[in-house]
A and B are shown apart, each in its own frame.
Chain A
Amino acid sequence: MALKKIEAIIKPFKLEEVKEALTEAGIEGMTATEVKGFGRQKGHTEIYRGSEYTVDFLPKVKLEIVLPEASVQKAITAILKAAKTGKIGDGKIFVLPLDEVIRIRTEDRGEKAV
C-alpha cells in the first residue's frame, strides 16, 4: 500500500490537543518542529519606546506524520477536530506522496517501518 506524509502547520498552543487526538486515532509517531511563517493572518506590531516593528513571521508548530494511505483520512479528521479554533491563523494540512521509509535500527522498509 502507498505511503503518505502529512505536514500540518498548527497554532503552538494546540500541539498537545492535536497529539492526543492523533494518538487516539491510532497514529503512533510524529515529529514536531517550532517554525515561523505567515499566511492570511499576517503578523503583529511591536512597539519599543515609540519604535514600531511589524513582525510578519508568527510562531507556529509543524507536525510531520508518515502513515499508510488508509489512515490518512482519520488523521486529517483528528487534526481538524483538535486544531480548529475557527479564527484566522489556524494553519494548514498538506498531504504528500512518499517514496520510501527505512527504519535505521532494523533496516525494515515500507509499511513495516512506519
Chain B
Amino acid sequence: MTIQNVMGWRPLVVLSIFWLSLAGVRADAPAPTLEQRVAGLEAYLGNGDPTGALKDEKGTIPDGLTTASVGVAGPGHNAWMMTSAALVLFMTLPGLALFYGGLVRSKNVLSILAQCLGITGLVTILWWAVGYSLVFDDGFKSPILGGLGFTFLKGVTSAPNTNYAYWVSQNVFSMYQMMFAIITPALIIGAIAERIKFSALLLFVGAWMFIVYFPLAHMVWGVNGLMNGVWNAGAAIKAVDFAGGTVVHMSSGWSALVLCMILGKRLGFGKEPMPPHSMVLCMVGTGMLWVGWYGFNAGSAVAADGVAANAFMTTTLATGVAAFVWAVAEYFDKGKASVLGFCSGAVAGLVVVTPAAGFIDASGSIIIGVAAGLVPWFFCTRVKRWFGYDDALDTFGVHAVGGTLGAFLTGVLATVDVNANLALNLKDIVGKTLVAEQCKAIALTLVLSVVGTAVIAFGIKVLMGLRPAAEAEREGLDVSDHEEKGYIY
C-alpha cells in the first residue's frame, strides 16, 4: 500500500510544490532520468559515487541536477559505521581497561580504569573542539595538518563528507574516528602503569594529541595527507595503513617506550614480585578487545562493503593463529601454555593485522598471525629482560613491535585482488616497491613519536613532575590519586 492510497495524492503534490519552493529548487532544474536515479542506487550497493551518472562528458554535473541518493547517508553503510564506532569505544571501555587493569597489582587497578575514563573524556573534548578538524579538514592545504573548517564540529552533519565516504554521515564518521583518537593514548598507559601521577598523565595526553596524533592521523588518513598512498595521488610517501598500524599502534607503542624510560622503573622493580592481580579480568578484557576490533578493522572500510567483509575475515584468522602460536612458543620455551600467553598472542595478532586487514587475503593473514605470535613474544620475554626497561604491561613489546611488523608486512602482502582501491594510485608499486614506502612511513612515525614524546615528557617533568611520591606509589595509586579502593573485602 502506498502513502498516496492512504492520504490521496492531491495534498502531497501541493505539499511537494510548497517544499520545493522553500528549498529554492529552480523550476527549470533538470530532472534526472530513471537511469540516473537507478545508477545512484546502484552506487549505494557498491559503495560508489552517487553523482557518477549525473556527470556529463566533461565530468561536471549540470546545474541543479541531482537525485534522492545524493547528499544522504546510505542506511546499511551508516548502520555498520555506528555499530563500529560503538565497538571501538568498547575496546577502550571496558576492554582495554580490564585487560590492563587485571595485569596490575590490586592496589593500582582503579588507576588504570581512571586513566582510561579520563582519556576518553579529555580526547572527546579535544576532538569536538579542534581535533577532528586538524585531522580531516583540508583547509590548510597541508599534507601535515588538516585545517580549522570543522572546529567545534561546525558543518559536521548527517550528510556524508565525500572526501572520506560516499554513504556514511559525517557526524558518524567523526565519532568513529574519535574512538581511534581515544584508544591510541590509552594504549600508552600500559608501559607506564603503577607509577605516574594522574594529573601528569592527562597533561601528557593533551599535549601528545596535538604534537603526535593529530598530525600523524592527517598524514596517513587525511584526504591530502603526506602518507595517504591509497587516496592521495600526490602523497610524498605512498604508504598504506588500513586501520592504524602506524597511526595507532606504532605511535602509542614507541611513545610508551620513551615515556616509560623517562619515567623510570617502578619502585621495587626486579626485587619484588609484581604479578597480575586478576588474570580473569585480563582475559575478559582480551575477549572484549577482540570483539571490538571488528569495528576497528572491518569498520575501517568506512562502509559495509566487500573490503569490510575481507577485513573481517583476515582479522579473525590472524588473531586466532597468533593467540595459538604465542602459546605454542611458550610451551616449547617453558613447558607450559599460559592464559596470559593466549591473551597476549590474540592482542598481538590484532595489532599486526590492523594495517593490513583490508589489503591482504586469507593466506596473508595466516602469515601475519604466525609472525605476530612469535616476534612480539620474543620482545616481551627476551628483549625486555636484556635491556631492563620497565614496560610494565608490554605496550612496547606488543604495540610498537607489532605495529612496526604489521606496517612492514602490509607492504609485502597487500594485493589488489582483495581491494581495488589499491589500483587507484598505487597499481605500479603494490607487490613491488610498496614495502619501501612502508619503511619510509615507519621511519617517519617512529621519529615523530619518539621526539614528540621526549619533548612533552621532559617538559612535564620540569613543570610539575611525572611520578607520585614514593610512599604514594607504595600505598598504591588507587588511594593516593583517587581516594578509592578497587576491592573492599
Contact = CB atoms under 8 A, between A and B. Distances in A.
Given A47-B334, A47-B336, A53 B273 contact: yes
Contacts of A54: 273
Contacts of B340: 48-49
B275 A49 contact: no
B276 A48 contact: yes
Contacts of A47: 334, 336, 338
A58 B250 CA distance: 41
A86 interface: no
Contacts of B162: none
Nearest to B381: A50
B385 interface: yes
Interface in B369-387: 380-382, 384-385
For the complex, would chain B's binding face be called helix, strand, loop or mixed by DSSP majority?
helix
Contacts of A53: 273, 275
Contact-size category for B: 10 to 19
Interface in B239-294: 273-276
Contacts of A73: none
Interface residues of A, number: 9
Contacts of A55: 273
A31 interface: no
Q: Which of A47, A50, A51, A54 has the most chain B CB within a 10 Å cutoff?
A: A50
B103 to A, nearest CB: 8
Interface string A29-70: 000000000000000001111110111000000000000000
Contacts of A51: 274-275
Contacts of B103: 48
A54 B271 CA distance: 11
A50 B380 contact: yes
Interface in B349-382: 380-382
Contacts of A48: 103, 275-276, 338, 340
Q: Which of A47, A54, A55 has the most chain B CB within a 10 Å cutoff?
A: A47
Contacts of B344: 49
Contacts of B336: 47
A48 B103 CA distance: 9
B380 A49 contact: yes
A54 B382 CA distance: 19
A107 to B, nearest CB: 33
B402 interface: no
B341 A49 contact: yes
A98 B276 CA distance: 43
Nearest to B273: A53
B394 interface: yes
A48 B384 CA distance: 13
Nearest to A53: B273
Interface of B: 103, 273-276, 334, 336, 338, 340-341, 344, 380-382, 384-385, 394, 397
18 contacts: A46-B275, A47-B336, A48-B103, A48-B276, A48-B340, A49-B340, A49-B344, A49-B380, A49-B394, A49-B397, A50-B382, A50-B384, A50-B385, A51-B275, A53-B273, A53-B275, A54-B273, A55-B273
Given A50-B385, A53-B275, 7 more contacts: A46-B275, A47-B334, A47-B336, A48-B275, A48-B276, A49-B344, A55-B273
Q: 8 closest pairs, A vs B, by CB?
A: A50-B381, A53-B273, A49-B380, A53-B275, A48-B340, A48-B275, A49-B340, A48-B276
Interface of A: 46-51, 53-55
